[in-house]
Amino acid sequence: MVFSELQQKVVLVIGGAQGIGAAIRTTFLSEGAIVIDADRQYTQDWTQAGDGAYQIHVDIQQEASIDQLVEMIQIHQLVPDVLVHVAGLSIMDPFLTSQTADFDHVFAVNTRGAYLVLRKITAEMKRWQKHGRVIVLASQAGKNPYRGMSAYVASKHALIGLTKNLALEVAPDDILVNAVCPGIIETKMKQRERVDGARLRGLSVADIVAEDTAQVPLGRTGTPQDVANVVLFLASPLAAYMTGQAINVTGGMTMH
């Protein structure tokens, strides 16, 4: 345990079933927090998944599903002190040959879905006078362009904008809102992007891996735990004078 202040605090993780979300979930559990993991991979409406751990199905593309999540946290009297929004997806296509349906799908999850979660859950935090934290997983793609990822890049730029605006509006309620912008993190999504990127560019996956590593000043790609550690910091008392920020976790690949 690093921060005793997080013990028995309620942490809601949207998209905690795998990858970065799973690392965030286990990190907060190790701090003694009560963690609600809401993910579309779960099939049940509400399940106790261990000591202080709960799972619930949510599809953030469906407003009614988010409303059901709000209802369940009310019923169980577990309105979060900390909201961590992780859920997102990417589709790789060159801009000029990309499909409108793919663009709409990326925005439906990464931007509209996040907007609905942030709006509805933060409103509950405010209503219950939770002087808490909202932490949004954006991306360094919210600051930079990337070949073949126009929809993802645009959606993450928009997500950082939503983060800043929410931070401004709920600052008087002592709710701090920040984004985390991961770089190249070793997850299943990144592995799939490498396969797609190699196909689009006529390279091998090994070429993409080498290129990824070469771009990082620290000389290695990141792990989900690297990101979870920064999320933990933002939820802790050490970040009590930070809001509206977009924090890079990129090994130096993005420095602005």
Compute the distance between CA of residue 14 and CA of residue 107 in angstroms, rounded to an integer.
16
**Among 42, 54, 146, 152, which one carries the catalytic annotation?**
152
Residues 230 and 249 sit within 8 Å (Cβ to Cβ): yes
Three-class secondary structure of residue 182 per DSSP:
strand
Residues 205 and 193 sit within 8 Å (Cβ to Cβ): no
Pairing assessment for the beta strands 53-57 and 47-50 based on DSSP bridges? antiparallel
Tokens 């993910």 -> residue: 39
Q: Which residues pair with 85 in a beta bridge?
A: 14, 136
152 classed as catalytic: yes
Instruction: Report the amino acid identity of residue 88.
Output: G
Residues 18 and 186 sit within 8 Å (Cβ to Cβ): no
Exposed, middle or buried by CB within 10 Å (0-12, 13-18, 19+), for 217?
exposed
Give the dihedral sign, CA 74/3/137/227: negative
Tokens 């126009």 -> residue: 150
Residues taking part in catalysis? 152
